[in-house]
Structure 1
């Protein structure tokens, strides 16, 4: 069930996100752990995206994704939801 009407639908805005928060947006019906695991798998399997992320300073051990990193992910995967 969508909690927004068509007029109220919020557009995705790149900003600082916790990795698990963004993962849950891409995998809304999964558990937090499963969404995070699937999200990491998507990232690792897209070589071009990973090269761009690493050039932007991506750290796989950091809990947060910076706005430029989120923009790169959305460029390659599309907007979540």
Structure 2
């Protein structure tokens, strides 16, 4: 008798644009890394694009040191990097 495969429920859910804690959002892109390492890597990606960095932190009310990405920031990141 073959074992029954259990589908990964997370794979069927569509990505939702909403506010995310920064580490949580980073782990969507880098699920195999710790939250801290994933966040560092995402910040390196952001720093490589001056236009994206300005749009995230200088063109809106959100600050660089906030603990979350706003819905607006998530939309910008997904537009720039594609869905996680």
CA RMSD, aligned part only? 1.7
Q: What number of residue pairs does the alignment pair up?
A: 77
The TM-score with structure 2 as length reference comes to 0.82
Q: TM-score, normalised by structure 1?
A: 0.85
Structure 1: gaps (5+ residues): none
Secondary structure at the aligned position of 1:33 is classed as helix
Which among 17, 25, 28 is matched to residue 25 of structure 1? 28
SS of the equivalent of 2:38 reads helix
Rounded Cα–Cα distance in structure 2 between residues aligned with 1:24 and 1:57: 24
In 1, the alpha carbon distance for the partners of 2:64 and 2:21 equals 12
Larger Rg: 2
> What CA distance in whole angstroms lies between the structure 1 residues aligned with 2:45 and 2:62?
15
Structure 1 stretches of at least 4 aligned residues deviating more than 6 Å after TM superposition: none
Structure 2 gap ranges (5+): 1-6
Q: CA shift at 1:26, angstroms?
A: 0.6
